[in-house]
Structure 1
Amino acid sequence: MNRVVITGLGVVAPNGVGLQEFTDAIQKGKSGITFHQELKEKGFSCCIGGIPKISEEKIAQYLTPLQLRGFNSTSILYGCISGVDAWKDAGFSVDENSILDYDAGIIFGTGTSGIEKFRESIYKIDDNKVRRLGSTSVVQTMASGISAYLGGILGVGNQITTNSSACTTGTEALLLGFERIKTGKAKRMLVGSSSDSSLYSWGGFDAMRVMTYKHNESPEKGSRPMSASASGFVPGSGAAALVLESLESALERKATIYAEVLGGNINSGGQRNGGSLTAPNAEAVQRCIKDALVDAKISADKIDAINGHLTATSKDALEIRNWTIALNRKGENFPLINSLKSQIGHCLAASGAIESVATVLQIKDQLVFPNINCDDIHPEISELIHKDKIPQKLIKKEINFLAKASFGFGDVNACVIFKKYLDN
Structure 2
Amino acid sequence: MNKSNLNRVVVTGMGVVAPNAINLADFYNSLKTGKSGLRFDQQLADLNFGCQVSGTPQIPEEHLSHYFTPLQLRGLKASGLVYGVIAGIDAFNDAGLIPAEKDNALDDFGIIMGTGQSGGEKFREAIHLIDDNRVRRLGSTSVIQTMTSGISAWLSGELGAGNLATSNSSACCTGTEAFIMGYERIAHGQAKQMLVGSTSDSGPYIWGGFDAMRILPTKYNNLPEQASRPFSNDAAGFVPGSGAGAMILEDLESALKRGATIYGEVLGGSLNSGGHRGSGSMTAPNGAAVQKCLIQALKNAQIKGQDIQAINGHVTATGKDGYEVENWVKALSLKDKLPYLNSFKSTIGHCLAAAGSIELVGSLLQLKQQKVFPNQNITELHDEIKPLYSENKIPVQLIETEINVMMKASFGFGDVNAAVVLKKWDLE
TM-score by length of 1: 0.98
Counterpart-to-counterpart distance in 1, 2:187 and 2:224: 43
Counterpart-to-counterpart distance in 1, 2:36 and 2:397: 14
Give the structure 2 partner of residue 417 of structure 1. Answer: 421
Tell me the alpha carbon deviations over residues 135-175 of structure 1, each in whole angstroms, 9 at most, x when there is no partner. 22111000000001100001110000000000000000000
Equivalent runs, 1:328-339 vs 2, <5 Å: 328-330=333-335, 332-339=336-343
Tell me the alpha carbon deviations over residues 277-327 of structure 1, each in whole angstroms, 9 at most, x when there is no partner. 000000000000000000001111100010000000000000000000001
Match of 2:203 among 198, 203, 215: 198
**Number of residue pairs matched by the alignment:** 423
Equivalent runs, 1:25-424 vs 2, <5 Å: 25-94=30-99, 97=102, 99-126=104-131, 130=135, 133-330=138-335, 332-424=336-428
Aligned-partner SS, 1:24: helix
**Residue type at the aligned position of 1:84:** I
Gapped runs of 5+ residues in structure 1? Answer: none
CA drift of 1:333 comes to: 2.3
Contact 1:32 1:220 survives alignment (8 Å)? yes
CA 1:298–1:98 in structure 2 vs 1: closer, same or farther (change >3 Å)? farther
Counterpart-to-counterpart distance in 2, 1:383 and 1:389: 13
Give the structure 1 partner of residue 3 of structure 2. Answer: none
Contact 2:273 2:289 survives alignment (8 Å)? yes
Contact 1:84 1:94 survives alignment (8 Å)? no
CA drift of 1:68 comes to: 1.6
Counterpart-to-counterpart distance in 2, 1:271 and 1:291: 19
**Residue type at the aligned position of 2:413:** F
CA drift of 1:94 comes to: 4.3
Counterpart-to-counterpart distance in 1, 2:70 and 2:136: 24
**Residue type at the aligned position of 2:300:** D
CA drift of 1:128 comes to: 5.7
Give the structure 1 partner of residue 17 of structure 2. Answer: 12
Counterpart-to-counterpart distance in 2, 1:127 and 1:415: 47
Aligned-partner SS, 1:5: strand
Counterpart-to-counterpart distance in 2, 1:216 and 1:153: 40
Aligned-partner SS, 1:415: strand
Aligned-partner SS, 1:107: strand
Contact 2:100 2:106 survives alignment (8 Å)? no
Aligned-partner SS, 1:418: strand
Give the structure 2 partner of residue 3 of structure 1. Answer: 8
Aligned-partner SS, 1:322: helix
Counterpart-to-counterpart distance in 2, 1:129 and 1:418: 51
CA 1:63–1:294 in structure 2 vs 1: closer, same or farther (change >3 Å)? same
Counterpart-to-counterpart distance in 1, 2:44 and 2:258: 48
Counterpart-to-counterpart distance in 1, 2:348 and 2:70: 31
Counterpart-to-counterpart distance in 2, 1:361 and 1:155: 27
Aligned-partner SS, 1:58: helix
**Residue type at the aligned position of 1:404:** K
Tell me the alpha carbon deviations over residues 108-134 of structure 1, each in whole angstroms, 9 at most, x when there is no partner. 000011010111122123276656543
Counterpart-to-counterpart distance in 1, 2:134 and 2:54: 36
CA drift of 1:67 comes to: 1.8
Gapped runs of 5+ residues in structure 2? Answer: 1-5
Aligned-partner SS, 1:291: helix
- Greater mean deviation of Cα atoms: 179-188 or 33-42: 33-42
Counterpart-to-counterpart distance in 2, 1:128 and 1:60: 33
**Residue type at the aligned position of 1:44:** F
Counterpart-to-counterpart distance in 2, 1:89 and 1:99: 22
Contact 1:2 1:182 survives alignment (8 Å)? yes
**Residue type at the aligned position of 2:409:** A
CA 1:128–1:16 in structure 2 vs 1: closer, same or farther (change >3 Å)? closer
- Greater mean deviation of Cα atoms: 128-137 or 228-237: 128-137
Contact 2:129 2:135 survives alignment (8 Å)? no
**Residue type at the aligned position of 1:170:** G
Contact 1:317 1:380 survives alignment (8 Å)? yes
Tell me the alpha carbon deviations over residues 32-56 of structure 1, each in whole angstroms, 9 at most, x when there is no partner. 1000111111000000010111011
Counterpart-to-counterpart distance in 1, 2:386 and 2:101: 54
Contact 1:88 1:94 survives alignment (8 Å)? no
Aligned-partner SS, 2:270: strand
- Greater mean deviation of Cα atoms: 375-384 or 357-366: 375-384
Tell me the alpha carbon deviations over residues 193-236 of structure 1, each in whole angstroms, 9 at most, x when there is no partner. 00011210001100010101010010000000010000100000
Counterpart-to-counterpart distance in 2, 1:52 and 1:123: 27
**Residue type at the aligned position of 1:346:** H
CA drift of 1:64 comes to: 1.8
Displaced runs of 4+ in structure 1, greater than 4 A?
127-132
CA drift of 1:361 comes to: 0.3
Counterpart-to-counterpart distance in 1, 2:93 and 2:386: 43
Contact 1:173 1:191 survives alignment (8 Å)? yes
CA drift of 1:375 comes to: 3.2
Aligned-partner SS, 2:124: helix
TM-score by length of 2: 0.97
CA drift of 1:421 comes to: 1.1
CA drift of 1:422 comes to: 2.1
